[in-house]
Every structure is written in C-alpha cells, then in structure tokens.
Structure 1
C-alpha cells in the first residue's frame, strides 16, 4: 500500500495521518482493519518503565597534563574506564561506592543513589563531581584528577543501552513466608501482591510481534530525544513460545538502543531505586510503526485480553522458577488476578499514563514534521536461542 519514502513525503508536507496505538485500536473497532489501513500512515507506540540494562558513554576531553583514567567516580558512582584514556561507561545500576561518600552514614539517600540518577542529573544540566585515578605512563603522566562536569562541558554524552524494550515479561509473586525485594520491587509473602512491568497492548514490540517493521537503524523516540535501534538486545530470545496471534507468552525479543543524551529530557529519563535491590533507570521509549500494508494494522489491533504473561514465584531461588500459569493483561490491568482460588492485587511497574504520553509526544513530533521514519538497514535476527550458564553444580563437584 505504501513505502516509507511515501510516508516521509507526507510527514514533510504535514499531511500524514498519525494515530497512537490506542487510537488505532479504537479506530479498528469502529471502521475495521481494511478501512483503517487505507486512512492511517503511522502508528506510534510507547512505554515508560525500568530498563536497568542501560548506561551512558561519556568522553571527558583530555586534561593538561593528560591522564589515562583507570578508576573514576561520578558523584561517588563508579564509572567503567577500561578503554580510551578519558572515555567512560556509566551503568544505570551501578551504586555509590566511593569511600568518602559511603562514610556519610547520616545520609541514607546517598546510598540509594546510582548511575541512573547521575545520568538523569547530567541530562538536566546539573553539575556532577568527578574524581579520577590514572595509570601514569610516558604519554599520560597525570596520576589523579578532580573536577566538576556538566552536560555542556563534556564531549560525547550518549546513552548506549544493551537491553531495552522487552517484548513481554513476567508477573512476579511471592509464595514464601517473608517479604522479597526484587527488580520488580517488593513482593509480599503468601501471594499478597503481584507486580508486572510491561504496559501490555500499548507496548512497542507487542504490536510488531515478528519485528517486521523494526530493525537495525530504525529511528525512535528515546528519552525525549531521537535515538536508533543499534542491534539485537542482550538476552534476545525471539524463539519464546507464542500464541496464535504471534505474541510471546513470556520474555522474548529485546533491542539495543543508542541516542544522544544531550538532546534528551529528564522527564523521560529518571533514576530510581528499588529497596534492598539497588538503583535503576526509568526510561521513555517510543517506536513509530509505518502502515505499509493491512497486516500492520491487523497486528496493532491486538488487545490486552489477547496478550498473556507468566506468573512467576520468586520465593524459589532458582533460575527456572515455578509458575502459576498464564494471565492476560486485561486481568492484570483490572487490578486483581486469580491465583489458586485467591484474588491477588496486581499493579504495574511501568507507568501506563506516561507510556501513553510517550506515544502521544511521538505522534505530535511526526505531525509537526519534526520526526521522519527511517528504513531499517538490517533485520533483527528471529532465530536466537537463550543460552543459560548452568555450570554451578559442575564447579562445586570439581572443588
């Protein structure tokens, strides 16, 4: 029906018809798939949820005399420095660990601060204290360095996120007898609550289940700026079991994303902390889906009742945990789900409201001609297996 070039021409002329994925679903219910496909050019999706496999690449610029940084802390948070002399990678989940910072025992908030908070503050233009220790060499004679940096006093500052946008995830519960503190937040004992992280039918990859539209080079909304799909994400597992509508029944595809953090907005990049687990990063990501043919609309018409996730018991400390079966996102969003004859309170870790706002802001960018679509340069592989590390028992036996 259309090509991306034709859609971009309409975007440039500000004549493209753009719908958020929720608007698209409502339109299909009223007019049907064929008519909707004729009328709509672009569908915008979005999510705002914790994405802990994220981080920032930072280049400081050389000092005088030069330093080859081997250890570095940003506001007390360790940044990886094992490559270029003044190149750093700041992981979102890295905790405060600089000795003088940890000694401030009267400030519990400092111990909850992590890489995600530093990234947020840099995006917001706030000053960050840098402390570095160098390896002295003939070409890098400086042994140490302290300064204050901001977004505007460093060369490169971009997010490179190895694993974002899980295509579906799990529902966490706790069948044990004590509270558990997890990457989904607190799980109360004896199945007192359930937590899910994916926003369901508005989630980007659930509306392109076979990744036919999304690939390497796809231009996206990332943290309030423009980003791109860089590669498949870590733990990418497209061979997950799927329903007849091709949506997976659990964690499946993932994407690696990249984007210039200097363009981003702290509204969409927020450091967070999970009690007794650690820091992380809440991130807004939006993907545009071009309506190239009717099948695009058919896939995007999927409803929460047609999507499921597994209920996983975190009280069993193993990689493969027992489940209480599958539950639909319609049930999850109702606020209660049935588990063993009991109605259990359910709540999302993702912000459904802000996920909708991401899709809406991306829609506005496209309507205003500020954001055009890109052709993918390569497909995301859909034949990746998931390889666990199950060598623990063998190691113990050898000892």
Structure 2
C-alpha cells in the first residue's frame, strides 16, 4: 500500500476496540477532522470510519430452504412465496426469491397493466416483520421424493435457512436521471417528467461506502458489514462491477463503477433497514441498508474517508431518448452537493432534484455501526481476497 508515516493493522485496531480505546467516527464527522487536522494527524487519531447507505437495490434476493419436516419428502420444481414466483431449480427444498419479481395475480396490475403493488422485496420485509406468508410448491415426484404439493403459511422462524444473497449492491457512483422527451416516462429511477422537469439521483454521497474507499483497499471477500440491520459479509465484486473507470483527482469514479455482492442471515435483520418498494410504472424492488466500516490504516485511508459531497461528481444522463438504446450520453457532471441543494442547472434551466436514497437513514446506519464498534460488539475483518479496482 506504499510507504506511509502512519501504519496500523486491523488486528491492532481490533485490540483497541476490545479495550474500549478505539476512536470511531462516522463518515460525515471525518470530513471536518481531515479538513482541520490534515490526513496524517487524522490517521493517528482515528481508527475506524463508518459509512452507510439506504437505497433501492434491485439486484437483491433471498436464498431459503423450506426443510423436510413433514414426510413424505418433496423435490420442489415450482415455488411461490407470498404469491411471488421463486426459482426452484436447486436442491430439493432450496429456492431463491428475487426482490423485483412481482406476484402472479397482483391486483394493481389488473387495473393498471405494468404496475405492481407487491413483490419479492415486500415478501422479504414481511418475513423480517414476523408476518406469515403463503408457501406453495409442487414437484413431479420421485421414489426418494414422493410428495407432489405443499400449500401452507410459513413465518421466518419456520424456514431452517434464510439468507439475503444480493448479487449487486452499493453502486459506486450512479447516474442522475432526466427525461428530455415530451412525455412522462417510468423508470427504476422513479417517474421522470417531460422536458427535464425533475432530476432523480441515488447514493448517499459522502456517507456512501465505496466513495470512502474508492480503490477498495480495505473491502473484499470476508469484510464484515452492517446489512439490513444485522451482520453481513462481502462476497466479492458484484455483477456489472467496473474496475477501471475514469476518476477525478480524489479517485472518485465519474460514472457507475464498483459494486459488491453481499450476504447475511435474514433472521438477524431489522425491517427498518429492509423495505419492500413499489415504483410507479416500473415494478418492485427492495430498499437495503448497508454500512461498511473503513479501517484507517494510514494517511491514505484518512484522506479517502475525508471525501465530501462537493468532491463527488455525478453524470447526468437522459433516460428518455438515450437510455432505452443503452447509449446514454453524459449531458454534464454535477456535484452531489449541488444535487442535495434541491436544484441543478441543465441546458439553461433550473431542474428540481429528487433523491432515491435516504440520507437520513444512511447517516443512521453509519451511526448505528459506529455504536456497535464502540460497544465492542462488532470487530473488523481482514479481506481474504481483493476486489479489482484499477
């Protein structure tokens, strides 16, 4: 990692956590420390910086096992949970529920085709809340798995295994979406009014995990994190991960770049940080809370975690003409600070901005993770495998 005046190890930081001597700040607090004291002094004084984000993350889902409690046993071919189709082409009673899959007979879709009220993300939230959801499954029957049907209500406690397994979370930067056509359009970034009358954006800016470690020097396979109000782990790069984006002088990507694959036990999670989402005209998703601790191993990491909203440049892209053709031009870059102000300038007009990410809950996640570490109930882990970032 280069030659630095300050060098710490994760083992040393964990020893300070255990002894109650660790200095832990959330990412918002770290900005002022780096600005006032400089990166070398900040690296000496601070041990961990906590980050947080709470945003719809469509590439999420639940890997679950329904058990073989009631003989005869079954090999499930088709599975529905809460009326939402699951993928059952795994072992006999293993299935995967995707956050964006809607119910088969969604009442809203019957009235407004293409719109859905309830989907996989809502099933996950209901399970975490302790609600019963309906399980339906069928199989073709074999000598070792003679049963052909299951039809009953289950709760999270009834599932022997239920883990969030999210292929792509925590995007490192993302698009600010506008619509340059003359008609209202519906997207995963929310409804976009015609003629760029609103600009929707995501990520938690200066609190966002991968803005605070832009080269993923401390985040990799095995990194322990806050996930959905419980404990989770990084499995590696998420799908669509971009390891060599164009960056600004602080190392911040100028376009959507790094992503993470995450997992965690759903039975330890909190519905405050896992919310089923219905987006008008688009469909269903799951809003996921993620917090990642950044160990301040040296002054380089102190510098990275001193990133502020004004340092982050986000691309504005047209989702009306360009995005459907998968060739979205960058109309301009704006800072996250400008987006948070409520308006940006585009083509000579002032455009109102709309956040898809809750900054309030993102800060709450960073602060909660900070308290876990200060209480000694959360220790840091060494990444067992790095994620490509350059």
Name the TM-score, length of structure 2 as normaliser: 0.95
Once residues 376 and 187 of structure 1 are traced to their aligned partners in structure 2, the CA distance between those partners, rounded to angstroms, is 40
Please show how residues 52-63 of structure 1 align to structure 2 within 5 Å.
52-62=58-68, 63=70
Offset, 1:245: 1.3
Superposition CA RMSD, Å: 1.7
Contact 2:116 2:278 in 1 (8 A): no
Once residues 67 and 377 of structure 1 are traced to their aligned partners in structure 2, the CA distance between those partners, rounded to angstroms, is 38
Q: Which residue of 1 aligns with 2:369?
A: 362
Please show how residues 237-252 of structure 1 align to structure 2 within 5 Å.
237-252=242-257
Q: Which residue of 2 aligns with 1:395?
A: none
- State the secondary structure of the residue aligned to 1:112: coil
Summarize deviations over 1:83-141 as a string: whole Å, max 9, x none.
Answer: 111101000001001x5x65995899x94100000001111111111111112111111
Please show how residues 110-259 of structure 1 align to structure 2 within 5 Å.
111-259=116-264
Q: 1:68 to 1:102 in 2, by over 3 A?
A: farther
Once residues 27 and 205 of structure 2 are traced to their aligned partners in structure 1, the CA distance between those partners, rounded to angstroms, is 11
Which one of the candidate residues 288, 305, 324 is aligned to 2:293? Answer: 288
In structure 1, runs of 5+ residues without a counterpart are 384-399
Does residue 90 of structure 2 align to residue 83 of structure 1?
Answer: yes
Once residues 27 and 243 of structure 1 are traced to their aligned partners in structure 2, the CA distance between those partners, rounded to angstroms, is 22
Once residues 342 and 243 of structure 1 are traced to their aligned partners in structure 2, the CA distance between those partners, rounded to angstroms, is 26
Q: Which residue of 1 aligns with 2:319?
A: 314
Once residues 27 and 382 of structure 1 are traced to their aligned partners in structure 2, the CA distance between those partners, rounded to angstroms, is 27
In structure 2, runs of 5+ residues without a counterpart are 1-6
Tell which deviates more after alignment, 59-68 or 42-51: 59-68
Offset, 1:246: 1.0
Q: Which residue of 2 aligns with 1:24?
A: 30
Contact 1:199 1:348 in 2 (8 A): no
Q: Which residue of 2 aligns with 1:50?
A: 56
Once residues 308 and 136 of structure 2 are traced to their aligned partners in structure 1, the CA distance between those partners, rounded to angstroms, is 50
Which one of the candidate residues 6, 13, 16 is aligned to 2:12? Answer: 6
Does residue 101 of structure 2 align to residue 94 of structure 1?
Answer: yes
Once residues 367 and 24 of structure 2 are traced to their aligned partners in structure 1, the CA distance between those partners, rounded to angstroms, is 10
Contact 2:108 2:117 in 1 (8 A): no
Q: Which residue of 2 aligns with 1:41?
A: 47
Q: Which residue of 1 aligns with 2:281?
A: 276
Once residues 169 and 92 of structure 2 are traced to their aligned partners in structure 1, the CA distance between those partners, rounded to angstroms, is 28
Offset, 1:31: 2.2
How many correspondences in the alignment? 380
Name the TM-score, length of structure 1 as normaliser: 0.92
